[in-house]
Structure formats: structure tokens, C-alpha cells
Amino acid sequence: MFLDFLQYCGRLAIFAGVAVYHCLRPPIYFRLIGTQMLEIGYFSLPVVGLTAIFTGMVLALQSHTGFARFSAEGAVATVVVISMTRELGPVLAGLMVAGRIGAAMAAEIGTMRVTEQIDALTTLSTNPFKYLVAPRLIAGLAMLPFLVLVADIIGVFGGFLVGAYQLGYNPATYIHSSWDYLKPMDVVSGLVKAAVFGFLISLLGCFNGYHSRGGAQGVGQATTNAVVSASILILTTNYILTALFFNK
């Protein structure tokens, strides 16, 4: 059991190494990177946006009722903005994208594997790592920070809506206290996390798809594995990164 796990990690690490190597070496398929960026970045906007706005809203509501117990309602805006940018933006966007994109990648590449399309690529002198894996890794790495930035803005806006229109804070004061206590590091750390998560989502989607076998069932299994392992890795690395960033 433990040995299996180690073997899995080893294979994943080798896969990641080979994939990164091929990201850096020509030929680089810019058209494919573009398509993937559109798929990951643009078409994930609705899902990520909805998640973010409701998270921001509920965050404002909860911290308001919580802080009211010791008359610290003034901190609501700050709490919303810091939790959104540092933690909830990257983690929730990462988890949503893992479900949407990681699964799609595993299913597509897995189907290509079991129908011998990956073998066909090789016989046409095209390296599957360059053609399939590298564009997805690059797009994941580049687009997740963008999505998280959007999620941060929408989430904070959601908090503002609840704060200003439901809880009766002064809109100007709310915006001020959001802004005043926000440090660049809060946002930057969130974006760095996002880039790492984007890489992990694409990596696990491609890895599981690439090694899937055994027809439709195998592809289904690969898809599940991609989403579950990406989600777990996102939560684990999130803790590690937070510890690294804010460990004083």
C-alpha cells in the first residue's frame, strides 16, 4: 500500500519532469496553448465568478454576525478582503477548475490513449508530451492566476454588496477599510498559489489521462482520479504555501 503510493509519486514526478522539459523545448504549439487558455481561462469565468460572489457574500454575513458578539463589526471588510485574496479565492477557484478542467483533460487524453490516438501521434513524428501535455500545463499555469484575480475582485464585491445593502455599513467606509488593510503580499501570495494549483490541475489531468487503460471504464476511473488527486493536492499545497509565505 505504502509502496504503491511511493511508486505513484515517483511516476508522477518523472512525468512532471518530462512534461516541464518539453514545455521549454521547441517546437512549441502556440495555437494549442491559445485554445487551452481560452478553455481554461475564459470558459471557467462563469463558474469561478459565481463561486466567488456567493463566497464573498456569505463571508460578510458570517463575520458580521460573529464579530457583533464582541462589537468588532468594523473588521468585516478587512476580514472579507484578506480571506478572499489569501485563501478562498485561490482554493475555491482551484477546486472548481479541478472539477471542470482536470476532469475534461483526463477524459480527453484518456480517450485518446485507449483509442490509440496517442500512438498515432507518435507514428506521425509528433511527441505527445509536446502536443498534448505541454500546452495544457502552460495554459493552466498562466490562466489560474487570472481567474483568481477575477475571483478576488468579484468576491470582495459580493462582500461589499452584503455589507452595504444588507448590513447597513457606510459604503465609503466599507471600501476604505477593505483597501487600507490590504497588503500587496496578500494578493501576490494568492496569485502564486493559483499558478501552482493551475499547474497541478493540468498535471494530474494529463497524467491520469495519459496512463489510463481499459476502455470506457478506465477513462472514467482516470477522470475521477484526476479530480480527487488534484483536489487533495490543492488543499495540501495550500497549507504548505501558506506556512511558507506567512511564517514569521
Partner 1 sequence: MTRQPKIQLIDIHKSFGHKKVLDGVTVDIGTGESFVIIGGSGSGKSVTLKCILGLMRPERGSILVDGREVVGVPARQREEVMKKFGMLFQGSALFDSLPVWENVAFGLMQGRHMDRRTARRKALEKLAQVGLGKDVAELSPSELSGGMQKRVALARAIAAEPEILFFDEPTTGLDPIMADVINDLIVKCVRELGATAVSITHDMHSARKISDRMAMLYHGKLVWVGPTADVDQADNPYVDQFIHGRADGPIKMEIRH
Q: What cell does 67 get? A: 464579530
If one asks whether residue 173 binds partner 1 (CB under 8 A), the answer comes out as no
Question: What is the smallest separation between the CB atom of 19 and partner 1, expressed in angstroms?
Answer: 13
Which member of 127, 221, 237, 242 binds partner 1 (CB under 8 A)? 127
If one asks whether residue 123 binds partner 1 (CB under 8 A), the answer comes out as yes
Phi-psi domain of 247 (left: phi exceeds 0; alpha: psi -120 through 50; beta: other) = beta
For residues 204 and 102, is the Cβ–Cβ distance under 8 A? yes
Question: What is the smallest separation between the CB atom of 25 and partner 1, expressed in angstroms?
Answer: 9
If one asks whether residue 131 binds partner 1 (CB under 8 A), the answer comes out as yes
If one asks whether residue 120 binds partner 1 (CB under 8 A), the answer comes out as yes
Which member of 7, 65, 122, 217 binds partner 1 (CB under 8 A)? 122
Cβ distance to partner 1 smaller for residue 58 or 121: 121
If one asks whether residue 28 binds partner 1 (CB under 8 A), the answer comes out as no
Cβ distance to partner 1 smaller for residue 22 or 193: 22
Which member of 1, 4, 125, 247 binds partner 1 (CB under 8 A)? 125
For residues 208 and 112, is the Cβ–Cβ distance under 8 A? no
Q: For 130, how many CA atoms within 13 A lie in the half-sphere containing its CB? A: 13
Q: Using the rule CB under 8 A, give the single segment among 36-44, 55-63, 114-122, 141-149 that binds partner 1.
A: 114-122
Question: What is the smallest separation between the CB atom of 131 and partner 1, expressed in angstroms?
Answer: 8
Question: What is the smallest separation between the CB atom of 121 and partner 1, expressed in angstroms?
Answer: 8
If one asks whether residue 116 binds partner 1 (CB under 8 A), the answer comes out as yes
What residue ranges bind partner 1 (CB under 8 A)? 108, 111-112, 115-117, 119-127, 131
